[in-house]
């Protein structure tokens, strides 16, 4: 038997020629810091050192490691943290942390060799970008990574042990943070799903017996619904649990089924045709997924088209007649265009995964989820178990972005299999599944008409959005245009176009980015036609006080003041600057509780929320510590467990606004209790009075519930739904009643200014710099808020420039189901990003803070397109603005 | 995903060098069957130099080693730059030259184990009538997948000869064919191993550049890529050789560009006109016309810099 030396210890290598190094490391040796993400050499999450050189362990045969020295992330900081690890912690070069071990291994090797060759010189951004080009981070932590690697190379972290701004940073940079995919119970089985090879079929017979007859296969369950229908390639049919993945795959292949194939239809254009095959008959419409954060209302259906939902329109007939007359009069101010946005995949680096285990009639499920508490309720309901019998755990979650907010099939499959097999079962999707069937932001086609009055006010606005929702409904895109730029009349209609594609899902600000892509370009065009500064025009048309302040900030930026016109440029490379605005609703979750206690002289704050990278642990720790005059590490934060008091889901940017107010109330209660129970007062003049009081306090426990906000007093601050009239009130009521979400007063806002350089020969866009101005009230954890802001911009740049799910036009099979073909931004694509926080506007919220995650990504794609317009004179109406599209547009051709 | 996969070939033994291409195909189930691990021998790893300054590179030499070799960079800058321009650092460190030349297609239909295609024993090319955004712009055979090998395109431009276990010297053309056989990515016999690559001695004063067009900055398969060698003296192109990848089922020499430059002054006008010839002879598919615009742009870019 051959062996390798791993982190200084001898370890055997398996004889199986197909065993890969990553599997030996993770499964045989339980060194789970090394992550398996793409399995294709693209993302670098599996990077380890082999004889000192970074390699992708997902492609390296285990055999090839014989007689080598392998170092994993656990070996990098084994005796003492590497300077790179400390720098990552100090510069908050991570969010969800799932990519972090891979980055750390590579960056440590780079830093060591740099130091050997160049001493403490600082590497350039280009050098760092090239060295880390084999790594991808979906949270977009690149800005911090640049800074961390540069600082480590410069020797800034040789001695110091930093006090990281993110409380769980140490676990994440050392690889000890356990994610769902890392959970391993004794006797745990591996579950794999059989998925439909057909776009539309009825599974008439399903025979699981041949799978169960195979050795080491413990359970097989059907996942078909009562109608036995599959509606897209990849729709789940059955699941098996076996000793290992290989055995489970063989079992899946052994399942026998007969099916009746039905006519199918793929995508926005085909499914809209009147005679296209219908995906959901009337009786099965409720089986469709939901692409929004809230529940949907009633809407008409015609074939595969659901809509219009047009409740947010305002005098729509007027719009039609005004636009028609303007068209006939050839009014030069009337702007009409059709914009298209692509399907964006969440591409969380940690796949959807669940590990289910029964102990008697108690069920424990580790799930990669954005909603531990709510998921516990849903599981209890479905399996008819008491809340006390179900426990959902998510200590660390490797990204979610909206796709992990629902009760997914990975969870039901794991539970069903665990029950049938009487053993713990893990179901973890592979990358093909992750990039094809776990949800996406639907592609859209948005027709817009914008008509100003001759004297310059906004007269009429019309948006008609068709969303490519696959086997799902409830897109809200056009409606969002109601809450910005008041006009005399608005016609806003949303349609879902259902087809035999996997269902879409909520994705960071659902509907916001595509709406902004169309609307903000229309505003830019209006400014050009009216010969006005685009920021000045927004100031005039958009009275929102939060954005008014951001417009003033943006108008003063040098990059904005010094921009040129497109006419001034003719060479190969052309530069341009663009601006755009965005907003999101301020949402919070009623009923959220925070428990705060003193136990053994330490502070412990608990709530059943989860940290998907946004930083909830830190927000709570900072808030408590600040109030007591302590450091964040003086507070233990317990989250990620449904046994804790009810906490918020991570979605709708609600976490911060839901947890800070009850935390502040709990702090007050606990302070009172500590004082009442104190045997003596702190020494006069003590600079940490609470530290002594807490240390001396008996164990105490208080709980507070999220209070309602106070009445806003600042001018112009009110619920945005008030601006949408009666329907707005209904919408707000429904959201609270059916989705447990409250819409607060004040509008989280963002204004971005982006400078690009366009290579007109290669159709390439280089983003030079981004200024992102954000108004979300007080910033509770500044370093983390910055990470969220820059990460949102980076994800927005991916949306604007690179990302598109590609499908086969006949079957709907997702072709871009590997990370080489689904292109998320890399570190070298990251521009310099400056973040400006405007902290006013939310004084009516206890603590003054609301969420940032969604609003910060809304304006990026239109700001970028407006910058390209400024550089080249060409308006790109379709994203992503890939080289094929840009070069065709520059040459005056239409792209395929 | 799951259910019985379509495999790339009747199960027969497949060589494995570093496995950076093969492992992914085996994990997905596209490739099956016995493996033969290639072990390095003295003549199959590393670079040896002849007295005439010509290099022979062993098939098991890593792409990273080729990219980092200062003598290769001096004598064959197009080879070194191509090696440094492909994949990622962690892949280049493992990947071998032989495996790069013999790697299989990256077409997304080929790589999907649930979809039949010509290279997996199917009867037609699903990309041709389906989504072929990244396919060829020079349609030379029944399969429309571009050849994936960056090194092959560069080696074509250097008139490299390949030594195999069965043939002492074959050209890149003989190794990869002319693109008319859609069922495979190379013309090696099933038990024929690439042992090494011999490069002719460089020309005095020659320079070379490599460039690819991609949407991001790094680590992306090329939409089109070009390796160009030139001897420019007294302001004229004394020698010019331009090869391109990512655009055809095999790497191509851009003969029309070369003809427009050979012996001509290295002027902006000559270069621009030559670049316009880049797509000559192309017959793009409905979705791949853009590749010709990009090809023109890359040729223009490298020629301008070679002329400087
Ligand atoms: C993320 C990523 C990006 C990439 N980008 C590029 C790119 O831009 N350009 C590019 O050219 N490549 C690219 N590659 C491909 C990479 O260069 C190849 O995977 C690598 O060169 C294959 O070498 P290997 O030794 O790992 O081959 P293996 O995976 O071991 O083998 C590949 C194939 O070649 C055969 N083979 C191997 N060695 C021999 C031999 N000596 N004789 C005969 N047959 C042999 C094998 O049987 C197998 O079919 C990329 C790969 C990854 C993972
Ligand atoms: S998991 Fe190995 S590179 Fe992505
Ligand atoms: S921190 Fe990099 S993927 Fe989340």
The DSSP line for A683-721 is PTT-S-HHHHHHHHPPPEEEEEEPPPPPPP-STT-S-GG
| B-contacting residues in A 739-768 (Cβ below 8 Å) | 759, 761-764
Indicate the pLDDT class of residue B9, thresholds 50, 70 and 90: low
Q: Average pLDDT for residues A114-122, to the nearest whole number? A: 97
Token match 């994990």: residue? B27
Within a domain: A615: yes
Residue of A127, A232, A761, A830 to mutate for B, most B C-beta atoms under 10 A: A761
Question: Domain containing A92 — which CATH number?
Answer: 3.10.20.30
Q: Give the largest Cα separation in chain B, rounded.
A: 64
A891 at B interface, C-beta within 8 A? yes
Is residue A836 predicted with pLDDT exceeding 60?
yes
| In contact, A134 and A46? CB cutoff 8 Å | no
Q: Are strands A53-56 and A47-50 parallel, antiparallel or unpaired?
A: antiparallel
A597 and A572, same structural domain? no
DSSP A646: B
Is residue B3 predicted with pLDDT exceeding 70?
no
Is the CB of residue A665 below 6 angstroms from any atom belonging to ligand 2?
no
Which amino acid residue places its CA nearest to atom 3 of ligand 2? A41
**What secondary structure, in 3-state letters, does A337-395 show?**
EEEEECCEECCCCCCCEEEEEEECCEEEEEECCCCHHHHHHHHHHHCCCCHHHEEEECC
Subunit contact A59:B288, Cβ cutoff 8 A: no
Q: Are strands A602-606 and A593-599 parallel, antiparallel or unpaired?
A: antiparallel
| In contact, B218 and B228? CB cutoff 8 Å | no
Going edge to edge, which strands form the sheet with B55-58? B47-49, B55-58, B194-198, B161-164, B170-171
A781 and A841, same structural domain? yes
Q: Average pLDDT for residues A153-169, to the nearest whole number? A: 93
Residue A295: per-residue pLDDT: 79
A480, two tokens: 């969002």
Q: Average pLDDT for residues B288-294, to the nearest whole number? A: 98
Which positions in chain B touch A64 (Cβ < 8 Å)?
18-19, 37
Express as a percent the part of chain A with pLDDT over 70.
99
Residue B168's Cβ-side half-sphere holds a number of Cα atoms within 13 Å equal to: 0
Residue A888: per-residue pLDDT: 95
The number of residues making up chain A comes to 896
Within a domain: A270: no
Indicate the pLDDT class of residue A731, thresholds 50, 70 and 90: confident
A45 and A20, same structural domain? yes
| B67 dihedral zone (left: phi>0; alpha: psi -120 to 50; beta) | alpha
Subunit contact B90:A64, Cβ cutoff 8 A: no
Within a domain: A499: no
Lowest mean pLDDT among A407-421, A486-500, A734-748, A758-772: A734-748
Within a domain: A479: no
| In contact, A214 and A262? CB cutoff 8 Å | no
Is the CB of residue A450 below 6 angstroms from any atom belonging to ligand 3?
no
Residue A896: per-residue pLDDT: 57
**Phi, psi at residue A396, to the nearest 5°?**
-135, 145
**Phi, psi at residue B216, to the nearest 5°?**
-95, -165
Residue A666 to residue A673: CA distance in whole angstroms: 10
| In contact, B270 and B125? CB cutoff 8 Å | no
A281, two tokens: 């008959």
Residue A219: per-residue pLDDT: 98
Residue A527 to residue A533: CA distance in whole angstroms: 6
SS3 state of residue A799: helix
Query: Which of B8, B21, B222 for a ligand 1 pocket mutation test, highest count of atoms within 8 Å of Cβ?
Result: B21
Q: Cα dist. B61→A364, B17, B56, B66 in Å?
A: 50, 10, 11, 7
Query: Which of B16, B39, B97, B243 for a ligand 1 pocket mutation test, highest count of atoms within 8 Å of Cβ?
Result: B16
Is residue A369 predicted with pLDDT exceeding 60?
yes
Which positions in chain B touch A53 (Cβ < 8 Å)?
93
Residue B2: per-residue pLDDT: 41
**Mean pLDDT, all residues of chain A:** 96
| B-contacting residues in A 706-725 (Cβ below 8 Å) | none
Residue of A61, A146, A251 to mutate for B, most B C-beta atoms under 10 A: A61
Residue A768 to residue B285: CA distance in whole angstroms: 34
Within a domain: A794: yes
Subunit contact A829:B289, Cβ cutoff 8 A: no
Is the CB of residue A614 below 6 angstroms from any atom belonging to ligand 3?
no
Query: Which candidate, A887, A876, A857, A770, places its Cα nearest to that of A344?
Result: A857
A134 and A62, same structural domain? yes
**What secondary structure, in 3-state letters, does chain B show?**
CCCCCCCCCCCCCEEECCCCCHHHHHHHCCCCCCEEECCCCHHHCCEEECCCCCEEEECCCEHHHHHHCHHHHHHCHHHHHHHHHCCCHHHHCCCEHHHHHHCCCCCCCCCCCCCCCHHHCCCCCHHHHCCCCCCCCCCCCCCCCCCCCHHHHHHHHCCCEEEECCCCCEEHHHHHCCCCCCCCCCCCCCCCCEEEEECCCCCCCCEEEEEEECCCCCCCCCCEEEEEEEEEECCEEEEEEEEEECCCCCCEECHHHHHHHCCCECCHHHHHHHHHCCCCCCCCCCCCCHHHHHHHHHHHHHHHHHHC
Query: pLDDT for A470-526, tens place per residue?
Result: 999 999 999 999 999 999 999 999 999 999 999 999 999 999 999 999 999 999 999
The residue segments making up the domain with residue A602 are 588-709
Nearest to A60 among B1, B94, B133 (CB): B94
Query: Which candidate, B135, B137, B132, B128, places its Cα nearest to that of B292?
Result: B137
Q: Min CA distance, B173 vs chain A (Å)?
A: 28
Q: Give the domains, in start order, of chain B with CATH numbers.
A: 207-306 (3.30.390.50)
Within a domain: A556: yes
Q: Average pLDDT for residues A808-822, to the nearest whole number? A: 98
The number of residues making up chain B comes to 308
Within a domain: A488: no
Picking from A111, A142, A177, the residue at the C-terminal end of a domain is: A177
What is the Cα gyration radius of chain A? 27
SS3 state of residue A112: helix
B1, two tokens: 């995903």
A66 and A35, same structural domain? yes
Please tell me the distance between residue A31's alpha carbon and the centre of ligand 2 in angstroms. 16
A420, two tokens: 């049938």
Residue B100 to residue A356: CA distance in whole angstroms: 43
Residue A854: per-residue pLDDT: 92
Q: Average pLDDT for residues A567-572, to the nearest whole number? A: 86
Residue A430 to residue A39: CA distance in whole angstroms: 9
Query: pLDDT for B162-218, tens place per residue?
Result: 999 999 999 999 999 999 999 999 999 999 999 999 999 999 999 999 999 999 999
Which positions in chain A touch B109 (Cβ < 8 Å)?
808, 815
Picking from A146, A177, A208, the residue at the C-terminal end of a domain is: A177
Is residue B142 predicted with pLDDT exceeding 70?
yes
Is the CB of residue A481 below 6 angstroms from any atom belonging to ligand 2?
no
SS3 state of residue A578: strand
Indicate the pLDDT class of residue B11, thresholds 50, 70 and 90: low
What is the Cα gyration radius of chain B? 19
Please tell me the distance between residue A36's alpha carbon and the centre of ligand 3 in angstroms. 13
A101 and A6, same structural domain? yes
Question: Domain containing A846 — which CATH number?
Answer: 3.30.365.10
Picking from A121, A151, A177, the residue at the C-terminal end of a domain is: A177
| Beta partners for residue A710, in sequence order | none
Indicate the pLDDT class of residue A895, thresholds 50, 70 and 90: low
A839 and A756, same structural domain? yes
Q: How many domains in chain A?
A: 4
Residue of B45, B130, B148, B215 to mutate for A, most A C-beta atoms under 10 A: B215
**Phi, psi at residue B61, to the nearest 5°?**
-65, 140
Indicate the pLDDT class of residue B235, thresholds 50, 70 and 90: very high
A774 and A674, same structural domain? no
A142 and A55, same structural domain? yes
A646 and A594, same structural domain? yes
Residue A369 to residue A391: CA distance in whole angstroms: 13
Burial of A269 (0-12, 13-18, 19+ CB in 10 A): middle
Residue A894: per-residue pLDDT: 63
Residue A726: per-residue pLDDT: 86
Burial of B205 (0-12, 13-18, 19+ CB in 10 A): exposed
Question: Domain containing A204 — which CATH number?
Answer: 3.90.1170.50
Q: Average pLDDT for residues A153-172, to the nearest whole number? A: 94
Is the CB of residue A509 below 6 angstroms from any atom belonging to ligand 3?
no
Within a domain: A767: yes
Is the CB of residue A349 below 6 angstroms from any atom belonging to ligand 3?
yes
Residue A495 to residue A682: CA distance in whole angstroms: 64
Residue B218 to residue A824: CA distance in whole angstroms: 12
Q: Min CA distance, B23 vs chain A (Å)?
A: 5
Query: pLDDT for A300-339, tens place per residue?
Result: 999 999 999 999 999 999 999 999 999 999 999 999 999 9
A774 and A645, same structural domain? no
A651 and A693, same structural domain? yes
| In contact, B18 and A21? CB cutoff 8 Å | no
């Amino acid at each position: 038997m051959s062996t390798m030396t791993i982190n200084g210890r001898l370890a055997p290598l398996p004889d199986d020629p197909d065993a890969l190094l990553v599997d030996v490391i993770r499964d045989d040796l339980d060194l789970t810091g090394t992550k398996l993400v793409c399995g294709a050499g693209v993302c670098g999450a599996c990077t380890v050192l082999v004889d000192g050189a970074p390699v992708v362990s997902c492609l390296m045969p285990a055999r090839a490691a014989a007689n080598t020295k392998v170092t994993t992330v656990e070996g990098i900081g084994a005796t003492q943290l590497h300077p790179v690890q400390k720098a990552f912690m100090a510069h908050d070069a991570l969010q969800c942390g799932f990519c972090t071990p891979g980055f750390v291994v590579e960056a440590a090797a780079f830093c060591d060799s740099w130091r050997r060759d160049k001493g403490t010189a600082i590497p350039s951004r280009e050098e760092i970008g090239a060295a880390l080009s084999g790594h991808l981070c979906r949270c977009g932590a690149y800005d911090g990574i640049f800074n961390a690697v540069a600082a480590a190379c410069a020797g800034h972290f040789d001695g110091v042990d930093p006090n990281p701004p993110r409380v769980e940073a140490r676990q994440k940079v050392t690889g000890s943070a356990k994610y769902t995919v890392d959970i391993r119970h004794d006797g745990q089985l591996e579950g794999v799903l059989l998925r439909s090879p057909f776009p539309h079929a009825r599974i008439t017979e399903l025979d699981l017996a041949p799978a169960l007859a195979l050795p080491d296969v413990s359970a097989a369950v059907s996942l078909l619904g009562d109608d036995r229908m599959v509606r897209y390639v990849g729709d789940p049919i059955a699941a098996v649990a076996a000793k290992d993945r290989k055995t489970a795959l063989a079992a899946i292949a052994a399942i026998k089924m007969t099916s009746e194939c039905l006519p199918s239809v793929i995508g926005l254009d085909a499914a809209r045709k009147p005679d296209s095959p219908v995906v959901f008959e009337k009786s099965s419409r409720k089986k469709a997924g939901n692409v929004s954060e809230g529940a949907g209302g009633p809407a008409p259906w015609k074939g595969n088209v659901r809509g219009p939902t047009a409740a947010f329109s305002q005098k729509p007939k007027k719009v039609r007649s005004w636009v028609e007359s303007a068209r006939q009069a050839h009014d030069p101010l009337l702007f009409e265009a059709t914009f298209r946005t692509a399907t964006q995949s969440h591409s969380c680096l940690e796949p959807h995964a669940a590990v289910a285990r029964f102990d008697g009639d108690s069920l424990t499920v580790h799930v990669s989820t954005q909603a531990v508490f709510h998921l516990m309720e849903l599981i209890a309901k479905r399996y008819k178990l008491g809340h006390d019998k179900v426990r959902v755990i998510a200590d660390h979650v490797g990204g979610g972005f909206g796709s992990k907010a629902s009760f997914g099939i990975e969870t039901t499959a794991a539970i069903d299999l665990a029950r049938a097999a009487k053993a713990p079962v893990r179901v973890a999707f592979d990358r093909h599944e992750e990039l094809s069937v776990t949800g996406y932001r639907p592609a859209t086609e948005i027709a817009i008409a914008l008509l100003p009055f001759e004297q310059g006010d906004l007269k009429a606005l019309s948006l008609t959005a068709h969303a490519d929702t696959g086997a799902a409904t409830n897109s809200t895109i056009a409606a969002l245009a109601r809450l910005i730029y008041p006009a005399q009349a608005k016609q806003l209609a949303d349609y879902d176009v259902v087809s035999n594609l996997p269902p879409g899902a909520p994705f960071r600000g659902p509907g916001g980015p595509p709406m902004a892509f169309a609307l903000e370009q229309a505003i830019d065009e209006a400014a050009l036609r009216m010969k006005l500064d685009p920021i000045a025009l927004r100031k005039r048309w958009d009275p929102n006080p939060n954005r008014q302040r951001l417009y003033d900030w943006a108008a003063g930026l040098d990059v904005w003041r010094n921009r040129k016109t497109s006419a001034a440029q003719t060479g190969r490379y052309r530069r341009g600057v663009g601006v755009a605005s965005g907003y999101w609703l301020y949402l919070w979750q009623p009923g959220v509780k925070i428990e705060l206690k003193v136990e053994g002289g330490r502070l412990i704050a608990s709530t059943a929320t989860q940290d998907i990278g946004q930083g909830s642990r830190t927000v709570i720790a900072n808030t408590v510590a600040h109030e007591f005059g302590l450091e964040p590490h003086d507070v233990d934060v317990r989250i990620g467990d449904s046994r804790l008091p009810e906490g918020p889901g991570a979605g709708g940017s609600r976490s911060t606004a839901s947890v800070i107010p009850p935390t502040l109330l709990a702090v007050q209660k606990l302070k009172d209790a500590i004082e009442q129970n104190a045997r003596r007062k702190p020494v006069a003049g003590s600079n940490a009075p609470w530290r002594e009081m807490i240390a001396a306090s008996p164990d105490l426990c208080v709980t507070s519930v999220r209070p309602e906000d106070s009445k806003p007093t600042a001018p112009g601050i009110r619920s945005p739904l008030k601006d949408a009239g009666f329907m707005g009130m209904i919408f707000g009521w429904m959201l609270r009643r059916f989705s447990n979400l409250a819409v607060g007063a004040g509008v989280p806002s963002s204004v971005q200014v982006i400078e690009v350089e366009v290579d007109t020969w290669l159709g390439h866009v280089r983003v030079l710099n981004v200024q992102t101005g954000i108004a979300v009230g007080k910033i509770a954890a500044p370093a983390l808020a910055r990470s969220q802001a820059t990460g949102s911009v980076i994800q927005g740049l991916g949306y604007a420039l690179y990302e598109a799910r590609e499908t086969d036009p006949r079957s709907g099979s997702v072709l871009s189901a590997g990370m080489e073909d689904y292109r998320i931004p890399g570190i070298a694509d990251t521009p310099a990003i400056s973040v400006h926080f405007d902290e006013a506007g939310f004084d009516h919220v206890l603590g003054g803070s609301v969420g940032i995650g969604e609003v910060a990504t809304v304006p990026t794609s239109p700001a970028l397109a407006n910058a390209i317009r400024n550089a080249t004179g060409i308006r790109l109406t379709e994203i992503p603005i890939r080289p094929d599209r840009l070069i065709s547009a520059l040459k005056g051709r239409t792209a395929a | 995903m799951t259910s019985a996969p379509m495999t790339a070939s009747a199960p027969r033994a497949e060589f494995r060098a570093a496995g950076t291409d093969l492992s992914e195909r085996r994990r997905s189930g596209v490739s099956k069957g016995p493996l033969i691990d290639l072990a390095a021998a003295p003549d199959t790893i590393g670079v040896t130099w002849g007295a005439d300054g010509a290099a022979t590179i062993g098939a098991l030499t890593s792409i990273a080693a080729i990219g980092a070799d200062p003598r290769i960079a001096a004598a064959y800058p197009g080879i070194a730059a191509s090696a440094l321009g492909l994949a990622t650092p962690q892949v280049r460190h493992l990947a071998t030259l032989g495996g790069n030349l013999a790697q299989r297609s990256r077409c997304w239909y080929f790589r999907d184990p649930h979809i039949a295609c010509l290279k997996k024993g199917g009867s037609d090319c699903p990309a041709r009538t389906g989504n072929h955004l990244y396919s060829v712009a020079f349609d030379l055979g029944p399969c429309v997948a571009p050849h994936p090998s960056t090194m092959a395109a560069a080696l074509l431009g250097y008139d490299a000869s390949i030594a195999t276990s069965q043939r002492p010297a074959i050209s890149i053309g003989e190794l990869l064919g002319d693109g008319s056989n859609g069922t495979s990515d190379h013309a090696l016999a099933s038990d024929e191993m690439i042992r090494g690559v011999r490069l002719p001695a460089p020309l005095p004063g020659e320079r070379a550049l490599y460039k690819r067009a991609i949407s991001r900055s790094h680590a992306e398969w090329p939409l089109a890529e070009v390796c160009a060698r030139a001897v420019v003296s007294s302001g004229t192109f004394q020698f010019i050789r331009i090869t391109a990848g990512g655009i055809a089922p095999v790497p191509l020499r851009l003969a029309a560009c070369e003809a427009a430059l050979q012996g001509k002054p290295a002027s902006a006008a000559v270069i621009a006109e030559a670049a316009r010839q880049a797509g000559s002879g192309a017959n793009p598919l409905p979705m791949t016309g853009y590749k010709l615009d990009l090809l023109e742009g890359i040729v223009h870019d490298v020629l301008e810099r070679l002329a400087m």
